[in-house]
């Protein structure tokens, strides 16, 4: 973190002070990237400035990707200097990026020290009748505590919550990646949709995720339509109700099993909030504002695990479970990872599962697996980078301990 060095409480009243090093206190700069408009307005007021400055600065940050206050031409030189001294605009550090031939882009961010402090973001393009969409899959936590049995993020355990600037920073970096060489005045945003489906459980990092989503929807920032921002949860029931009160975004539920016995195994949070409670919470979410297009239905995500949850009887149970919940079902072919205890259902099995649900009147799609030439699902790129980092750290330690003889040059 950039920090400003400020001399403070320097004692100058005795001979001792001549030999004592000057005490300095480092004051971290305030990162403006993760501040929602109300927060930024309050911040400007503390600086003795007018509230409308918040909107101006937000535009520079999120629409023109400016990180240097000197470039903010509609702000007075005096204020720019003041901001320079106490603030910064800082996205998380990109340690790895990969752009696939099919247009998929992935980034790994370092958000702390050590191999475990990595999160990833994936951007997936798709062609529709109405044009091209670019959907960004954003992470909300480093790792995840919920330990779903088919999820590589869950296997990494929970490290920490991401801060709002680390969450919105992923969208900032993705948009910026399309216009690094474009003059400021010609820059435009390229991400059309956001899904909170990267690493972590967004409803367990509620406040930071909420303020990031406020920034996504804000016309002074990304101005995204609420239909195009989706939060995915494994089912933290009380927070689904809270979300319904606080913001209008689309909701996706990681269902993965149509009965409690199987769901307890695959998605352990089901033991705390079983299916009946989860479905009721989804119904309340929709009822809250049923005419809004973002809330006409929930998306049901269902990972297809060979021989585990893909039997015809599971499809029948789904039909019963979802009969009173307006929903769209998305079948996700399982993405294998090293030591995963499952295999992906065969194409035929996925198609017949889909047919059963479609015949019963559900809109049911099969998720395309994309970006296969760079690697598979969320959480897995991080695994690879973490392995490399861990190996590099072990190597460094061995060298420092003198356990490695380095080949001399010449």
Contact residues for ligand SAH, defined by CB under 6 A? 150-152, 197, 201, 232-234, 254, 301, 303, 332, 334-335, 377
Residue 41 is encoded by which pair of tokens?
Answer: 């307005």
Task: Give the active site residue among 120, 137, 166, 282.
Answer: 120
Looking only at residues 240 through 279 of this chain, which bind ligand SF4 when binding is defined by CB under 6 A?
254
> Is 381:341 a contact under the CB 8 Å cutoff?
no
Q: Which does 84 bind (CB under 5 to 8 A by kind): ligand SF4, ligand SAH, none?
A: none
Task: Give the active site residue among 87, 137, 282, 378.
Answer: 378
Quote the CA–CA distance of 312 and 90 in Å, as a whole number: 50
- Looking up tokens 């392995």 gives 387
Rule CB under 6 A: choose which of 33, 83, 151, 329 binds ligand SF4: 151
Question: Minimal distance in Å, beta carbon 234 to ligand SF4?
Answer: 4
Looking only at residues 165 through 224 of this chain, which bind ligand SF4 when binding is defined by CB under 6 A?
200-201
378 is catalytic: yes
Cα separations in angstroms, 311 against 42, 266, 382? 55, 15, 32
Q: Which does 147 bind (CB under 5 to 8 A by kind): ligand SF4, ligand SAH, none?
A: ligand SF4
Does 151 carry a binding-site annotation? yes
- Looking up tokens 């400055």 gives 53
Q: Which does 210 bind (CB under 5 to 8 A by kind): ligand SAH, ligand SF4, none?
A: none
Is 144 or 213 the residue whose CB approaches ligand SF4 more closely? 144
Looking only at residues 299 through 318 of this chain, which bind ligand SF4 when binding is defined by CB under 6 A?
none
Interacting residues toward ligand SF4 by CB under 6 A: 144, 146-148, 151, 153-154, 200-201, 234, 254
By annotation, the residues acting in catalysis are: 120, 378
Annotated binding-site positions for S-adenosyl-L-methionine? 200-201, 232, 254-256, 335
């Amino acid at each position: 973190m950039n920090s400003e060095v400020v001399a403070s409480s320097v004692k100058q009243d005795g001979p001792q002070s001549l030999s004592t090093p000057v005490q300095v206190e480092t004051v971290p700069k305030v990162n403006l990237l993760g501040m929602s408009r109300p927060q930024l307005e309050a911040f400007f007021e503390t600086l003795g400035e007018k509230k409308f400055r918040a909107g101006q600065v937000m535009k520079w940050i999120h629409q023109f990707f400016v990180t240097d206050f000197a470039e903010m031409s509609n702000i007075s030189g005096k204020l720019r200097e003041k901001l320079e001294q106490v603030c910064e605009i800082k996205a998380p550090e990109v340690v790895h990026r990969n752009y696939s031939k099919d247009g998929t882009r992935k980034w790994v961010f370092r958000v702390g020290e050590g191999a475990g402090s990595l999160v990833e973001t994936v951007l997936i393009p798709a062609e529709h009748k109405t044009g091209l969409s670019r959907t960004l899959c954003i992470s909300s936590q480093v790792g995840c505590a919920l330990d779903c049995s088919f999820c590589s993020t869950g296997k990494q355990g929970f490290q920490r919550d991401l801060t709002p600037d680390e969450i919105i920073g992923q969208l900032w970096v993705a948009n910026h990646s399309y216009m690094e060489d474009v003059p400021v005045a010609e820059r435009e945003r390229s991400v059309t949709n956001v899904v909170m489906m990267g690493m972590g459980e967004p409803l367990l990092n509620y406040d930071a995720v909420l303020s990031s989503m406020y920034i996504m929807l804000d016309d002074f920032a990304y101005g995204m339509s609420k239909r195009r921002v989706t939060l995915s949860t494994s089912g933290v029931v009380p927070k689904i109700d809270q979300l319904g009160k606080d913001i209008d975004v689309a909701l996706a539920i990681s269902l993965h099993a149509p009965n409690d016995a199987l769901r307890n195994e695959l998605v352990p949070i089901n033991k705390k909030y079983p299916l009946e409670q989860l479905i009721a919470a989804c119904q309340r979410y929709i009822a809250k504002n049923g005419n809004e297009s973002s809330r006409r239905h929930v998306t049901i995500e269902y990972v297809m695990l060979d021989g585990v949850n893909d039997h015809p009887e599971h499809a029948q149970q789904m039909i019963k479970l979802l009969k009173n919940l307006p929903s769209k079902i998305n079948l996700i072919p399982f993405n294998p990872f090293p030591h995963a205890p499952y295999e992906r259902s065969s194409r035929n099995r996925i198609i017949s599962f889909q047919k059963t649900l479609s015949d019963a009147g559900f809109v049911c799609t099969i998720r395309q697996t994309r970006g296969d030439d760079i690697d598979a699902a969320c959480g897995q790129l991080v695994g690879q980078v973490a392995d490399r980092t861990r190996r590099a750290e072990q190597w460094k330690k061995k060298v420092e301990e003198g356990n490695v003889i380095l080949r001399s040059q010449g």
